[in-house]
Structure 1
Amino acid sequence: MELDVSLAEGEFRALAYPSLVGRPEPGDIVLLNTTALAMGLGTGGYAMVVAVPDRLPEDPSGPGHLVKARYTPLQATVLGADEQDSPHHEVLRDADSIDGMPVVVADLHSALPAILCGLYSSRPGLRVAYVMLDGGALPAWFSMSCAQLRSHDWLCGVVTVGQSFGGDVEAVTLHTGLLAARHVLNADVAVVTQGPGNLGTGTRWGFSGVSAGEAVNAASVLSGRPVAALRVSEGDKRERHVGVSHHSLTAYGRVALAPAQVVVPDLPGPFGAKVREQAEALAVRHELVHVPVDGLYEALRESPVRLSTMGRGLDEDLAYFLTSAAAGRHTASLPASSDPGA
């Protein structure tokens, strides 16, 4: 929940997760972590409520014994789909395949709604699960996009894996998260990204999005169909992210050891030619699939959630959103896991 807090320096917006810290009420004294405010972060630039000292939440009483955000003051105990006390344990205990389910992998959380725009504009009615990695936000509750996509029936559920938590389904690893998406949520397609707020350092390997390459490997080893969505930008001021981001070139070109279908959008003009040339570096290991983008702008404009990446909206970085939507469009052409003979 969002709230306004008064500090000596003025009024600030804050964020509280009631199940972790209690529910603040007007007039309450709250203990805050102001790190994000001090750093001026874009994503996550809130003061975070650590506790409502006069009204603490009840101690967790179960069920579940998976501890996430482990050994931090706000560690959360959840019921994992893959743990012994779960009603899904029998289904997942020996599960070893996601039955050819297409798995769309992207670097940034902001790609999720754009991928869905491309997917549903070509093939409405599919059941899509979102599998959230722990490279960004840990609580899925932080994502307003997820909540709105669920309310519009664009997601059949959110699976939080690793140290992330707060999804409809919890899982220990990405592998069991994908298995849960298929066998617990009965998804036809899964989309895998980090949660909001990825971390990068401007170095070749120091960014949390290397997990995109690891997600390709996980989808492949579980007999899925990995589809790699490129991170492409024409609006980013940082040269390393203009055209095909170095994040995609490293994650898919070096980290992903299994082959994927890499979707290359047929963007117009010299910029489009640059993207296609850069993507050729990935053809050594992967299959490049060139996808037209005609009609995708209109589909993106119909998104049920606001489209934004790094503070840039649809028209400020159209290439980014068209590329993500193209990955969704291509995925719609693949056999879904519920199709006969898939």
Structure 2
Amino acid sequence: MMTWRDGVVRRVGARWSGALELDVEIDEPSGTSLVRALAYPDLVGEPWVGTRVLLSISALSRGLGTGGYAFVVACPDDLPPDPPARAGHLVKARYTPLQTMVLGADEQEADSHALLADADDLDGLPVVVADLHSALPAIVAGVRHETERAGRPAPRVVYVMTDGGALPAWFSRTVATLREREWLTATVTVGQAFGGDLEAVTVHSGLLAARLVARADLVVLAQGPGNLGTGTRWGFSGVSAGEAINATGVLGGRPVASLRVSGADPRQRHQGVSHHSLTAYGRVAMHPCDVVVPELTGSLTELSETVRAQAQPLAARHRLVTVATDGLDDALAACPVRLSTMGRGLAEDPGAFLAAAAAGVHAARLVPRDEGRQPA
């Protein structure tokens, strides 16, 4: 059941693609209080100072990982006008009060439908799969580091966002900034996720749209910000990373598994290689893939040895690829977005980001030399 609050906007804060931060005054039994809220103008219209808003505070009141936000459900006194008639009948966040209708790249009304109608081949497209959204910028940093080191054009990197975490791509400041800086060429939102440059019904059609419509040279696939976990082996939304490996392989892509690594997570099951990576790639991923094992040095040498040993059982089905991480510290430090995983930054848990960047390095090496584009 949703926890509702009625409030009034007192300040309009930061804005990024598709999202708007607000300070909203709400009434509580103990008196008024100010909460940080997020509005998606494409769904609820444009709130201003003085606008009355209805908020959902369910996750916020429980201290869950929503980024500390209440969410605007409606501006009841200032409803937006009806959207103009347009093509598209894909309904996402289906049968919820905020379901939205979009034009899918793979549906009949789209210009790209003919291109995708019989599409069935990714033609060796490298696809880096990760279970956490926080790996995305580090992977792309690794891609760019490797192509720059090799004196090659930067590839067209497309992010395929699955629906295990946030459903609106607009929630991610990371995606907005990476698009602005042209580190990402496009975002494809699949399943119940929405708000990307392209929309698709499934991971499979999303990968094909990334390749054939967005003309990706390389794809990074991961769930949106946030994830759902229960402290059990199978009750974690990132287990779908294994299914993404299968989808990539079935379609003739080149799947690359990014290991979730930590040298600082207080939970034993996530130290070294997370048990979620071992489950997703060792138990769920049936199609062979390249599992990138980072070669960490210096103060991380012991962590590197642990990761190598923990990853070894994956060699029964997959190919383990050891990738050096020399120079990746600087590449990660230069990332245009803040690196953070489970509340830890680059300084607190460098192994997490180096492992993801190493996967990007390996994927960049798989891009044919006649593909890629000059950086802007």
- Same-fold call, TM cutoff 0.5: yes
Paired residue for 1:296? 328
Tell me if the contact between 1:227 and 1:331 (Cα under 8 Å) persists in the aligned partners: yes
Paired residue for 1:225? 254
The one-letter code matched in structure 1 to 2:58 is T
The CA distance in 1 between the partners of 2:370 and 2:252, in whole Å, is 15
> Structure 1 pair 246/200, CA: closer, same or farther in 2 (3 Å)?
same
Select which of 74, 78, 84 maps to 1:51.
Answer: 74
The CA distance in 1 between the partners of 2:251 and 2:348, in whole Å, is 38
Instruction: Name whichever of 112-121 and 5-14 sits farther off.
Output: 5-14
The one-letter code matched in structure 1 to 2:21 is E
Matched, 1:98 2:130: no
Tell me if the contact between 1:102 and 1:336 (Cα under 8 Å) persists in the aligned partners: no
Please identify the structure whose Cα radius of gyration is greater.
Answer: 2
Paired residue for 2:366? 334
Paired residue for 1:315? 347
The CA distance in 2 between the partners of 1:161 and 1:44, in whole Å, is 22
The CA distance in 2 between the partners of 1:43 and 1:324, in whole Å, is 23
Paired residue for 2:91? 67
Select which of 100, 113, 120 maps to 1:76.
Answer: 100
Q: Deviation string for 1:77-113 (max 9, x for gaps)?
A: 0000000000000000000011110000001000000
Matched, 1:180 2:209: yes
Tell me if the contact between 2:60 and 2:66 (Cα under 8 Å) persists in the aligned partners: no
Paired residue for 1:167? 196
CA RMSD between the two structures:
1.3
Gaps in structure 2 of 5+ consecutive residues: 1-19, 149-153
Measured after TM superposition, the shift of residue 338 of structure 1 is 5.5
> Structure 1 pair 292/43, CA: closer, same or farther in 2 (3 Å)?
farther
Tell me if the contact between 1:62 and 1:78 (Cα under 8 Å) persists in the aligned partners: no
Paired residue for 1:152? 181
Q: After the TM superposition, which parts of structure 1 deviate over 6 Å for at least 4 consecutive aligned residues?
A: none
Paired residue for 2:24? 5
Instruction: Name whichever of 128-137 and 115-124 sits farther off.
Output: 115-124
Measured after TM superposition, the shift of residue 57 of structure 1 is 2.2
The CA distance in 1 between the partners of 2:284 and 2:367, in whole Å, is 26
The CA distance in 1 between the partners of 2:261 and 2:41, in whole Å, is 37
TM-score of the aligned structures, taking structure 2 as reference length:
0.88
Tell me if the contact between 1:227 and 1:262 (Cα under 8 Å) persists in the aligned partners: yes
Tell me if the contact between 1:36 and 1:44 (Cα under 8 Å) persists in the aligned partners: no
TM-score of the aligned structures, taking structure 1 as reference length:
0.97
Gaps in structure 1 of 5+ consecutive residues: none
The CA distance in 1 between the partners of 2:207 and 2:355, in whole Å, is 24
Q: Deviation string for 1:146-204 (max 9, x for gaps)?
A: 01000111111000000000000000000000000000000100000000011111111
The CA distance in 2 between the partners of 1:212 and 1:159, in whole Å, is 16
Measured after TM superposition, the shift of residue 16 of structure 1 is 0.4
